[in-house]
Structures are given as C-alpha cells and as structure tokens.
Homo-oligomer: A and B are copies of this chain.
C-alpha cells in the first residue's frame, strides 16, 4: 500500500479528496452531484446524529417526518423563498414508466401538478402546522426532522456541497416574537456547543447580513468554522422566520385575548457538510483525524511478529489486553461476522457502538498502520514479542503521531476513556489556536485585500452591510461577510469601504 495522499501544502483540494478516498468515507455516485456515504463515513454521521438528537430532545424537541415531495404551488407561496430555491429543484412530473413503440421505456402518467423534491421543508411543514395549531394552547410546536434534501449544485464537492445531502431541519412555531427569537438563539447555542464539545471545532457565532439570509427569513444566524487552508465553512444556521411563513400558510391561532394571531416560526439545520468540516479542520497529510467523540473505532490493535512461533504469545498477550479493556462479556456477539478478512472487532461502548479493532489480516504491519491512520482512529496499540517479554505495549497517538511505551497493566477502560478525553481536548485547543492565530483585525480595504491574499483566515473589520458593497468585495477578493459576530469588543468605527460610521465589525473570509 503506497502513501496515496497528496500533502496539503501541494494541493489542498486534492488532499481533501485523497483523505476521503483513503478513509473510504464517501464515493461519487452515478447521479451527477449526488454522493454515496460509505460505511466509514456514515458511522461518523451516526455519531453526529446521536449526539445532536439528544441535545434536541433535552431542549424539549420531538422528531417527526414530513413528505419528500412538495406541490409546486406550495413553493411559490412565499415570494423570497421560491426565488431562492426555484433554480435548483428536482422536479417530479410523471408517475410511471411505459414501453414505447421501440420497446424502450419512457416516463408516462403525467402528474396534474409537478412535485418538487424538498430542498427544505418550511412550506409543507407550514401547511401542516396550519392544521394542527388552533389555539395558543397548541403552542409552542417544537419539531425536528432528520431527512434527505435535494438542491442541484453546479460545482459539487463530497460532503461540502452535494446535490442530495442528509440533514436535520428543526421547525418551531411560537406564540410571541420574543419566544421565536429565544428559540432561534437557543438552537444556535446548541449547534455551537456541539461543534466545540463533540467535533472539537471552535466556531464564531453571529448573524448574517440581509444579503446572505435564508430566503424568507427575517434574520439568519450562523456558526462559522475556519478550515486549515484559511477558508471559512458555514457549519450551521438558525433562522427567525418572523411571520412570513405563517402568513403564507395561515398558521394562525386563537390567542389568550380571544383574537386570531399569526404564529411566529423558526427553522434551523445542520447537514452532512459537518463531516467535511471535521476533515478539513483536523486531518493531516497521513489522512483522517477524528475527534474521539465521533470516532466509530476508538482504538486499533496491531500484532507485530516475524516468525510464526511468535504469533501465539503475541495473540495471548493481545487477548489478555482485550479482556482488560472490554471484559469477556463485552466481546461482540457477531464477532465472527464482524471480522471479515481477519479483523477482530469488540464493542468498547455498547451504547455508542464505538469499537476496538484487532487487525489480524495477512498484510504487512506497515500497511495496517497506514490503514488505521487513514481512517482517523484516535489510538493504536502495537504488541510484538519483545513487548510481551517486557509486559509493555506501544501506544501511538493519532492526534500528534507521538508514541510511548506503557505497561500492560495500564490498559483499563478508564485509562482508555481518559486518553480519549485528552485527545479530544487537544484537538479543540489546536483548532482554537489555529483559528485565533488566523483571525486578523484590519483598518482598511487595502489591508484586508493584502491579508486575504497572503494568509486568508478570518478578517475582522468595520463594514456597513450592503448588497452592492458585498458584491464588490466578493468580486475583488472572493471573500464574503461570514457573519456579524456576537462578540463585538472593538466598539464603533468607520466602514472600510464607505467610510460611514458603523457600530459593528463583521468577519470577512473566503468560504466553502
């Protein structure tokens, strides 16, 4: 197995694809712009889902499921919304395939009204809420949906931008504007905490400029992460929709004052794009680096021996090690089947399905090392005959590729949990140090252009949001306003483009 990952310094875009390929995270599909999420990548998505879903439920939300297909007329009910999505819809127009004269099949059974594969579900969910909400007693409605959505994309990139993607979309309805605003910010906080605590990804919270808002929103809030190449990635958004969708879909209720009122709604979402964020924030030239909290496999174990007579003692030592780490009872029931090609798999944590893998395949130890490094497994243990003699093992840390020798007795579940927590914390610190070091405050447009050209990163400056000026900056520097950050320690100043007074700084960056 050759080293098959292009170094970041040579070609960052190719490095990204190589990491995905080497880690078997995803693959291109026969449908343009749509990806296949392979088991190694999907396990990361499952870890993300499980973690986020618990956070949603702890903040009082429940899950539901709404139809994939949306009548065309629904999409057009909110003017800005349809403007935003009409150009990238997948449209179902027929209901069957029929044999034509020459024996080939062609679409038949034309539908009376075209149906749109949901690009997002505000419209169809708004329609249902209008039927479910009658009185203030029916509010708030706090519903989340895990689903697939479609938006045709011209230039796609695995995970970051695909025509079909997986996401969750929260949709809530409230009695007052204040409650809706509180919910919008609450969910932004949930996303930010999740990104930092579980993805080890520090994010900047802020609001979007009017130009960058979700089509149909009164206000869009975002969490923005910084990737290793100095480009920003929008990691999640939370929208205060005001009464725009309530008005379009008649979500009204009888209030405490015995009068009819329109409800106030919000929506918020994160997607499989987060896997792209994970890759670009933490991985290195050896491949994927996964934060332990979302790593499907937390530890790989590699037996090292040259002569066959050494195998038995190495195997015995590893078996003993595994009993210490997972206990006899914890060996996976389907172990034999979980072990195609010589992998012996154990559940380290049955509740999260996180695994430990012992690699008994008949390939060279060096290849096995690459194999697990490229999959981002946080820790690797190697055991050879000399280790058995000394009752020690080698521990290799994925996060910094350092190794150390440890006595067999050290390997307990608590020890493993401990070093996983340390690795998680180190990744966050590393990412935060990088992000802080790549954030610059500039006083003029020239200075900003210089910084963006030389270093990239987050550029903070005073700027008065305005569609024409934002377009000008984009055309000239490829940078966009990522957000108007909540943290505004700099006070007021002059807009770097117009010279006007402005109260707030924005963050510019080139973005994915």
Contact = CB atoms under 8 A, between A and B. Distances in A.
Interface string A64-85: 1111111110111000001000
Contact of A92 (B88, B91, B338, B351): B91
A95 B29 contact: no
A95 B91 contact: yes
Contact of A66 (B29, B60, B86, B96): B29
Interface string A82-122: 10001111111111111000000111000000111100000
Contacts of A91: 92-97, 107
Given A42-B64, A114-B107, A124-B29, A152 B96 contact: yes
Given A30-B67, A91-B97, 9 more contacts: A31-B115, A36-B64, A36-B65, A42-B63, A43-B62, A59-B334, A75-B97, A76-B105, A92-B93
Given A67-B36, A340-B139, A88 B96 contact: yes
Contacts of A143: 39
Contact of A68 (B27, B34, B82, B340): B34
Nearest to A166: B65
Contacts of A29: 66-67, 124, 128
Contacts of A27: 128, 131-132
Q: Which of A45, A93, A164 has the most CB of B within 10 A?
A: A93
A37 B147 CA distance: 13
Contacts of A86: 96-98, 105
A97 B70 contact: no
Contacts of A74: 30
A71 B30 contact: yes
Nearest to A59: B334
Interface string A482-507: 00000000000000000000000000
Contacts of A66: 29, 36
A334 B60 contact: yes
Interface residues of A, number: 80
A40 to B, nearest CB: 8
Nearest to A96: B87
A62 B87 contact: no
Main DSSP-derived SS at the A contact region: mixed
Interface of A: 27, 29-31, 34-39, 42-43, 45-46, 54, 57-60, 62-72, 74-76, 82, 86-98, 105-107, 114-117, 124, 127-128, 131-132, 137, 139-140, 142-143, 147-148, 150, 152, 164, 166, 332-334, 336-338, 340-341, 351, 353
A313 to B, nearest CB: 27
Max count, chain B CB within 10 A of own CB: residue among A38, A65, A340:
A65
Given A62-B39, A124-B30, A131-B27, A107 B93 contact: yes
26 contacts: A30-B67, A30-B71, A34-B69, A38-B64, A39-B143, A42-B62, A54-B353, A58-B333, A58-B334, A59-B337, A60-B338, A65-B166, A67-B164, A68-B117, A68-B148, A69-B164, A75-B97, A86-B98, A87-B96, A87-B97, A89-B95, A91-B92, A91-B93, A91-B97, A140-B340, A142-B340
Contacts of A139: 340
Contacts of A127: 30
Given A107-B114, A114-B107, A92 B95 contact: no
B137 A69 contact: no
Contacts of A96: 86-89, 91, 152
**Closest CB pairs A-B (n = 6):** A60-B337, A39-B62, A60-B334, A86-B97, A34-B67, A37-B65
A63 B89 contact: no
A62 B87 CA distance: 36
A147 B90 CA distance: 18
Contact of A67 (B31, B38, B68, B87): B31
A45 B94 CA distance: 30
Contacts of A71: 30-31
A272 to B, nearest CB: 8
B117 A72 contact: no
Nearest to A65: B37
A42 B59 contact: no
Most chain B beta-carbon contacts within 10 A, residue among A57, A71, A97, A105: A97
A26 to B, nearest CB: 9
Given A39-B64, A337-B59, A115 B90 contact: yes
B75 A63 contact: no
Given A92-B117, A105-B86, A72 B60 contact: no
